[in-house]
Amino acid sequence: MNKKRITWIELLRIAACIGVIGIHAGSQHFRDTPLDSSIWRISNFYHGINRFAVASFIMISGTLYLDGKRNWSLKKLWTRNIFQIAVAYVFWQIFYAVYRIVMAGKPAIGSVSFFKKILIYCSESYFHLWYLPMLAGLLIVTPLLWEIVNCERSKKWEEYLILMFLLIKIIPYTVNCFSFPLKEYVMNVMHTVQPGMVVDYAGYFILGHYLSHYEISRKLERTIYILGISLILAAILLSQYMSPRVGRELQSYYENFTLAGFFWGSAIFLFFKNHVSKIHWSEKQEEIICRLGGYTFGIYLIHAFFRDVLHRAGIDSMMIGNTVIAIPIVMVCIFGLSCLAVILIKKIPVLGKWIV
């Protein structure tokens, strides 16, 4: 596989990263503002319009990992790809656990209770870090998916799938049949990689490969654009209409596995693949785009920290009267600080390579 970065994919990666920040910036006051207020409606709009982000990230991975020119090595897959994700996940789980304890002011740092609290926090993914176990799970089944979309070597991959089935599903299920101390937290750890979540998101994984490797008719492309735009707007409006009536915020209409999420994510992906890809960039511009695209993994991991820090400093979606302007300002601040932090972290010998 050609290791040269593809500009339109890097641009989509950057857009998806900004989209994730937009989701989290838009949802800062979802639960503490009136559901019929203009502030909540604007926040809901930003939260919904950025829902292409997760689907786009997974489709990008499917485009690259399922490419027919790629030769898979199980040793490299586990010792490099999956291990790197695992290291980053463990590091940031501990980082956010310690951060939350410090911000709460208890228990005392270094005490037995402190370390117990860290273990409890780390037993379940922090709100945005769920993506890493899901991605690791997809990489676990990627060789099988690669065979499905490229060739047939059934026996080898059937044995691999059976082994993963035992380790990820059968053993945790069996362990759950018994009672033992701290069972809840042990089971949380064992269910970090959830087979159901992996299988579900594999659909976007394969969709990315399909849309990037096969040409679809212009009529179908236009239909996807129309459906994507109309469904995501309808979902946002439906959320705004229904939430005050049920007395709680409803985000289910535009989540990742809805028709709105599916077609909106597909539309954004196709737009970058078929139209953004035709933009001519200078060599210097391409270098900047690809370098920034290489920072997005780290930005994704650390952006929640700066979101919270800025919120505590009063810089959030309600910092000024105009929420329409406030949210983009917060997004820019979070992205800029996260990017700067990633650049600095990458300069740290050894550690920088593994955690961002």
How many Å apart are CA 259 and CA 243, to the nearest integer? 19
Residue labelled with tokens 């690809």: 290
pLDDT > 70 fraction of the chain, expressed in percent and rounded: 95
Q: What was the pLDDT predicted at 163?
A: 79
What sections of 247-356 are H helices per DSSP? 259-274, 283-312, 323-346, 351-355
Q: Is the pLDDT of residue 11 over 90?
A: yes
Question: Which residues have CB under 8 Å from 148's CB, separation 6+?
Answer: 206
How many Å apart are CA 230 and CA 53, to the nearest integer? 17
CB 331 within 8 A of CB 342: no
How many Å apart are CA 184 and CA 188, to the nearest integer? 6
How many Å apart are CA 140 and CA 122, to the nearest integer? 22
Instruction: Tell me the average pLDDT across 80-106.
Output: 94
What band does 165 get if pLDDT is binned at 50, 70 and 90? low
CB 340 within 8 A of CB 298: no
Q: Is the pLDDT of residue 2 over 80?
A: no
| 236-249: pLDDT as tens digits | 999 999 999 999 88
